[in-house]
Chain A
Amino acid sequence: MITEPHIPDPDGFYAAWVGAHEGLTEAQSADFNARLVLLLANQCGDQAVLLACIDAAREAGMASETPPRSPA
């Protein structure tokens, strides 16, 4: 699993991602993200990496349950 920066234009990707959610209901957004995950998973195509990503996403979610630090 690649965790070092690998997206050529991070801000551009984020803008496109957020933009795709504009005007969607919460349910539509969830549907959209699920489709996106599948498309990205197929680009990866490496079972071990996919499972590592599932674990990493779960772990990051658990970390967010602790109170957020205030911005510096």
Chain B
Amino acid sequence: MERYKFAPAYELPSWPFVAPPELGSDSVARHPIVIVGAGPAGLTLACDLARRGVRALLLDEDDTVGVRGASSRGICYAQKSLEIFARLGIYERVAEKGITWSFGRTFSDQQEVYNFNLKTDSVSAQPPFINLQQFYIEWFLVERIIELGLTDLRWKNRVVDVTPLADGVRIEVETPAGRYTIEADHLIDATGANSPIRTRLGIDAHPSRSTDRWCISDVRFKKPLPTERWTWVDAPFNEGRAVWQHLMGDGVWRIDYQMPEDCDTAHISRPEVAGARLREQLGPGVEFEFVWIGPYGYRDHLLDNFRHGRILFIGDSAHVVSPFGARGGNSGIQDAANLGWKLALVAQGLAGDALLDTYDAERRPAAIENLRVTSRSARFLAPRTPAEHTLRRAVVALASRHAFARALVNTGRMSVANDYPAAPHLPEGGRSVQNLPLRHLDGTPTTLMELLADGTRCLGLWFAPTRAQAEAAADVAASLPLRLVAVGGDSGLAALQPDEALARHLGNPAPGSLCLVRPDAYRATLLDKPTPASISAAVHAALAHR
């Protein structure tokens, strides 16, 4: 029998426990912002706040990154997340360590039925996707947070109780050196799918568990393969069930096998069983070593409200979807970026409590959309009845011959920046603006994210304003969190060179119009004939001022 090798375990960093000053103190310290959970969502939020000059306390029960050793939960980071990482200052490291890809192929049996190139719609400085083990993302974020120096990051600090107060939250924390109590103006729960805070507060997440079963094999091997996302609807080397194949950092391939619903999870994840599966796929003579093997099922849940008074839920604590399309981790990162600037403005006294309600108003519909999309993929991948198998067979049979049927082959619709519904603070609804490479008037390169990176201000991209218009608006801009930048024209404002991609991306705004972009690079509104009064009203609306 073939013997299978395991790669040496990853050596992940750990950070020391430092006894917090509150230990043994009689008075209860008050912190404006307390984040619980140093996963991708919690770390992104802490880093986002720090980048805006806002302090936060971040509590984590562990002292390292990742989960269960070298396993990786998230592997695909979508463009919007990468743009956020660019603003936070970790994108270069992610790009260097990760695998940039935009091309995917879908197979049925031996035949390719469909492929896609996500690059075609992109105008961003970031690619559609980079694959990287989640623990690297967390690692880079932790180091960046430490570098920015504004976050009190407390390892081995486990939250054991939370009590909502009229004007805040009381938090009970357990550490290796004892317990202490603090209060927060706002508590952000980023503790993940099994949130103990949610449980403690008795908030129902409406979970539903799928019977679909999968087994991950993270593996390194020498067979050269293109850097593409390959999926099989029904792989001949997996008894006609689905398979995923993706390259991550360090030359590690994630190969994810759909298993029978009634499988014995201990059996299918044994090295000799997983090894035989892989041998069937690779053929004889291909050397490989395992990095990690693990079975999993998936579930979904969704909170009725992402905000409960002074407690806000982000990432998996608020919503969980099936993994198809990489909409879990990415939406947690994007929750954090949605909330970061709002918390920052509230903490700085520049916006009121109503702005925090817009977090729920925007990110809950995004979660509903992600749930809808991923549930459809899950159903395509795991037909429930013989009749559903018949329908799927029809799709696959036609897809290899006719282009129209390829649109029905659903092996996951990759994560996109969700649109936000129209609301009083977003009269036209919200749409992400990609991180366009731009040039200042003097030719120096910049990007949209660079223009948004300093402080927490909306960006008014003003297309060829006149000098009189710009001068009239100067007082408004100075009195609000607003930075006005001209695109072309001779207005005396800081200006960018006119850019065709920018104009097209924003719907070819007429000369003189002003596009208001929020600090999270969502378009708030487009003013056809901006005046000081209409600019002021638009900013007040975007910040939910009342």
Tier of interface size on chain A? under 10
B residues contacting A by CB (< 8 A) are: 387, 390-391, 393-395, 397-398, 402, 404-405, 408
Q: Residues of B contacting A35 with CB < 8 Å?
A: 394, 397-398
Q: Residues of A contacting B395 with CB < 8 Å?
A: 38
Verify B398–A38 contact, CB threshold 8 A: yes
Verify A37–B404 contact, CB threshold 8 A: no
Q: Tell me the minimal C-beta distance from B404 to chain A in angstroms.
A: 4
Smallest CB gap from A36: residue in B = B394
Verify B390–A30 contact, CB threshold 8 A: yes
Verify B394–A31 contact, CB threshold 8 A: yes
- Bound complex: CA of A30 vs CA of B390, how far in Å? 7
- Given contacts A31-B393, A38-B394, A38-B395, 18 further A-B pairs with CB under 8 A are A27-B390, A30-B387, A30-B390, A31-B390, A31-B394, A31-B397, A34-B390, A34-B391, A34-B394, A35-B394, A37-B394, A38-B398, A38-B405, A38-B408, A39-B398, A39-B402, A42-B402, A42-B404
A27, A30, A34 — most chain B CB neighbours (10 Å): A34
- Bound complex: CA of A39 vs CA of B390, how far in Å? 15
13 interchain pairs, CB-CB under 8 A = A27-B390, A31-B390, A31-B394, A34-B393, A34-B394, A35-B394, A35-B397, A38-B405, A38-B408, A39-B398, A39-B402, A42-B402, A42-B405
Contact residues of A between 8 and 44, Cβ < 8 Å to B: 27, 30-31, 34-35, 37-39, 42
Q: Tell me the minimal C-beta distance from B393 to chain A in angstroms.
A: 6
Chain A to chain B: the 10 pairs with minimum beta-carbon distance, closest first: A34-B394, A42-B404, A35-B394, A30-B390, A34-B390, A34-B391, A38-B394, A38-B398, A31-B393, A31-B390
Smallest CB gap from A41: residue in B = B404
A27, A37, A38, A42 — most chain B CB neighbours (10 Å): A38
Mask: chain A, 25-68; 1 = CB below 8 Å from B; 0 = not: 00100110011011100100000000000000000000000000
Q: Taking chain A's interface residues, is the majority helix, strand, or loop, or is none over half, making it mixed?
A: helix
- Bound complex: CA of A31 vs CA of B391, how far in Å? 7
- Bound complex: CA of A31 vs CA of B398, how far in Å? 11
Q: Residues of B contacting A31 with CB < 8 Å?
A: 390, 393-394, 397
Smallest CB gap from A34: residue in B = B394
- Bound complex: CA of A31 vs CA of B397, how far in Å? 10
Q: Tell me the minimal C-beta distance from A30 to chain B in angstroms.
A: 5
Q: Residues of B contacting A34 with CB < 8 Å?
A: 390-391, 393-394
- Bound complex: CA of A48 vs CA of B451, how far in Å? 44
Q: Residues of B contacting A38 with CB < 8 Å?
A: 394-395, 398, 405, 408
Q: Tell me the minimal C-beta distance from B408 to chain A in angstroms.
A: 7
Q: Tell me the minimal C-beta distance from B113 to chain A in angstroms.
A: 14
Smallest CB gap from B407: residue in A = A42
- Bound complex: CA of A40 vs CA of B397, how far in Å? 15
- Bound complex: CA of A31 vs CA of B396, how far in Å? 11
Q: Residues of A contacting B387 with CB < 8 Å?
A: 30
Q: Tell me the minimal C-beta distance from B403 to chain A in angstroms.
A: 10
- Bound complex: CA of A31 vs CA of B387, how far in Å? 9
Q: Residues of A contacting B390 with CB < 8 Å?
A: 27, 30-31, 34
- Bound complex: CA of A39 vs CA of B408, how far in Å? 12
- Bound complex: CA of A27 vs CA of B394, how far in Å? 12
Q: Residues of B contacting A42 with CB < 8 Å?
A: 402, 404-405
- Bound complex: CA of A34 vs CA of B398, how far in Å? 10
